[in-house]
Amino acid sequence: NAGVMQNPRHLVRRRGQEARLRCSPMKGHSHVYWYRQLPEEGLKFMVYLQKENIIDESGMPKERFSAEFPKEGPSILRIQQVVRGDSAAYFCASSAQGGDEQYFGPGTRLTVT
Amino acid sequence: QQPVQSPQAVILREGEDAVINCSSSKALYSVHWYRQKHGEAPVFLMILLKGGEQKGHEKISASFNEKKQQSSLYLTASQLSYSGTYFCGTLAGGTSYGKLTFGQGTILTVHP
């Protein structure tokens, strides 16, 4: 039973470029969450999505960040015009229902140079 | 507001026990516990729901005091593999059923 998959695992972008992070939830899960973790810090909620719907984006910066979870295909977290402060580990998690335990993917480590 | 974990760090020898606490100022729907090793993803350990239901790994035990909005994770007969950072994540009433708010973490180190 495949777990949550994320790609790429490592991503290097120059300032001003775009970063696209992908997440495929665990089989049977339709709820997806994105979290950001800065080095030596805890996990910060960004956004909660179900298929084709954003349920809660209260943790998402207002500018440059967007997320989607289309009917077909993985969930995408998109960061436009990246800055050095965007360097972090971005984790995706999924659950069968909202409020259930969340299972995390391996993360994408974004480095902005 | 993020939950507060205590202690911030614990050092144990194999076989010793530890308790990690998580306290929130908000009314909670559930508390989730995770362990994260350096450079890896958080691993689910336990979920405790308002009303008493809980599920998780057999070797892990935890409690949830709904009146005090506090949870404790009990690690008994610790093994080297228990080393890592432990996070509690809380789901509070009045927010969506997906927004986990994590504590700052407790670093557990187990020595032989």
**B5-64 pLDDT, tens digit each:** 999 999 999 999 999 999 999 989 999 999 999 989 999 999 998 888 888 877 789 999
Q: Which of A43, A45, A59 sits opposite B87 (nearest CB)?
A: A43
The first and second tokens of residue A53, run together, are 């719907």
State residue B77 phi and psi, 5-degree precision.
45, 60
Task: Identify the sign of the CA torsion B34, B46, B100, A31.
Answer: positive
User: Is A56 in Cβ contact with B42 (below 8 Å)?
Assistant: no
Contact B35, B75 (CB under 8 A): no
Q: Is the pLDDT of residue B90 over 90?
A: yes
Q: Which residue has the tokens 């300032």?
A: A15
Residue in chain A lying closest to B93 (CA) = A99
Mutating which of B20, B97, B101, B106 best tests the A interface, going by the most A Cβ atoms within 10 A? B97
Tell me what the pLDDT averaged over chain A comes to: 95
Contacts (Cβ under 8 Å, ≥6 apart) of B5: B20, B21, B22, B23, B86, B87, B88, B103, B104, B105, B106
Closest by CA to A8, choosing from A85, A107, A112, is A107
Q: Which residues of B touch A42 (CB under 8 A)?
A: 2, 87, 102-105
Q: Which of A97, A99, A105 sits opposite B91 (nearest CB)?
A: A99
Q: Quote the minimal CA–CA distance from B105 to chain A in Å.
A: 6
pLDDT of residue A1: 54
Mutating which of A33, A102, A109 best tests the B interface, going by the most B Cβ atoms within 10 A? A102
CA distance B68 to B101: 17
pLDDT of residue A98: 86
pLDDT of residue B45: 95
Q: Which residue has the tokens 């509690």?
A: B88
CA distance B55 to B64: 12
State residue A78 phi and psi, 5-degree precision.
-115, 130
Residue in chain A lying closest to B56 (CA) = A101
Q: Low-confidence residues of chain A, pLDDT below 70?
A: 1
Which H helix or E strand runs over B45?
strand B43-49
pLDDT of residue A36: 97
User: Is A58 in Cβ contact with B47 (below 8 Å)?
Assistant: no
CA distance A55 to B36: 26
Residue in chain B lying closest to A106 (CA) = B41
The first and second tokens of residue B93, run together, are 């009433």
